[in-house]
Structure 1
Amino acid sequence: MITGGRGAGRQLFPRATDDDRAVAEPTPWVLGLLVTVCFAVFTTCLLVGVYELIGGVVRWLGVAAVLVVAVGLGWTLWDLRDRPVWRWIVWGSIIGLLAGLGSSIALLALGR
């Protein structure tokens, strides 16, 4: 509350009226989880493909390239994680980035 002066008794941030509030919608869990799984599989395959492409020349360079791609995409997507539609895509991509990085390290350890 602001006290004193001409604005005595007024609130700094007035409360929202019922007209200002958004209507609460149910969360689309089934479709959202399907989108998350699809993006996780796509991102994992993308990173394994990057490893296979560059790792065919120099194996450790393939893991370094996967790490650069994973950090770059993860850093970019992290800002979108709270938006209602993008959260499913972001969390699926982050899971895929972690799975792809782990798969690339496992492929390096296996000598492939």
Structure 2
Amino acid sequence: MELRVRDGRAVLAGEDESGEREVDPHSLPLGADLAEALHEWAKVADAVVRTETPADGVANALVARRGKQLAGRIAAVMNSPVLYTDPVSGELVSVEAPDSPAVAGPEPAELVGEEEVAEPTPWGTGLTVSFITASIVTVTVVSLSLGLGETSRWLALVANVLVVGGLAPSVWLGRKVPVWRWVAYGVVAGVLVAWLALILTLLQA
């Protein structure tokens, strides 16, 4: 069985009497939570590929890591190895089933990147990272918008849309990953503050 991304949807490919077939995860006994998680990952992976982010980008690494985690969950449920095709690099990896088969159900915290309940949340360090990230994003977006706005306001608007569109996949994947989630929060806050500042600037003009 092989996990792939096809047109923004997760599919599982396998061989039968008629040859190779690709099926929707919902058609297999994987559990609704796992099937939905697969499709959510596939949508983000497809967006990352379409934006043509650099091969060493954060979004690419998160897509690959999340895909391997989901392939591991499938292997655990099916109790058999699963091949995983990285939608960004095209690399084919075999993910083995764990020693004890897992039961399909709610996604474990360690697989979605959340910290365990017993581990305290590093609010001080995390908020500091978010603040620094938000400051950098705010200054960057405002400077870019004001610079382009002197030429054309429409050009500035298009630039903002492209910047946010490029950041969206990384932010969406990073929202549940320890450490990177604080960066994601900072990016969102920075973009919102920058847009608010631009709106106030336009109203005073």
Structure 1 counterpart of 2:152: 58
Q: What secondary structure sits across from 2:140 in the alignment?
A: helix
Asked if the contact 2:133–2:187 (Cα under 8 Å) also holds between the matched residues in 1, the reply is: yes
1:106 Cα deviation after fit: 2.6
1:83 Cα deviation after fit: 0.5
* Counterparts of residues 16-55 of structure 1 (less than 5 Å): 24-55=118-149
Structure 2 counterpart of 1:18: none
1:89 Cα deviation after fit: 0.5
Query: After TM superposition, where is structure 1 displaced by more than 6 Å over at least 4 residues in a row?
Result: none
1:26 Cα deviation after fit: 2.0
Q: Which has the larger radius of gyration?
A: 1
Normalised to the residue count of structure 1, the TM-score between the two structures is: 0.70
Normalised to the residue count of structure 2, the TM-score between the two structures is: 0.41
- Over residues 7-60 of structure 1, what are the superposed CA-to-partner deviations in whole Å (9 max), with x where a residue is unaligned? xxxx9526xxxxxx9974322111111111111111111100111111111123
> Which has the larger displacement, 55-64 or 33-42?
55-64
Structure 1 counterpart of 2:102: 13
1:64 Cα deviation after fit: 2.7
* Counterparts of residues 53-92 of structure 1 (less than 5 Å): 53-92=147-186
Asked if the contact 1:70–1:101 (Cα under 8 Å) also holds between the matched residues in 2, the reply is: no
Q: Equivalent of 1:97, from 182, 185, 191?
A: 191
- Aligned mates of 1:35, 1:12 — CA distance in 2: 38
Asked if the contact 2:146–2:156 (Cα under 8 Å) also holds between the matched residues in 1, the reply is: yes
Q: Would you tell me which structure has more strand in proportion to its own residues?
A: 2
Structure 2 counterpart of 1:107: 201
- Aligned mates of 2:181, 2:196 — CA distance in 1: 22
- Aligned mates of 2:168, 2:202 — CA distance in 1: 22
* Alpha-carbon distance change, 66 to 94 in structure 1, aligned in 2, over 3 angstroms: same
Q: Which runs of 5+ in 2 are unaligned?
A: 1-99, 104-109
Letter in 1 for 2:175: R
- Aligned mates of 2:144, 2:124 — CA distance in 1: 30
Q: Which runs of 5+ in 1 are unaligned?
A: 1-10, 15-20
- What is the root-mean-square deviation in Å for CA atoms of aligned residues? 2.5
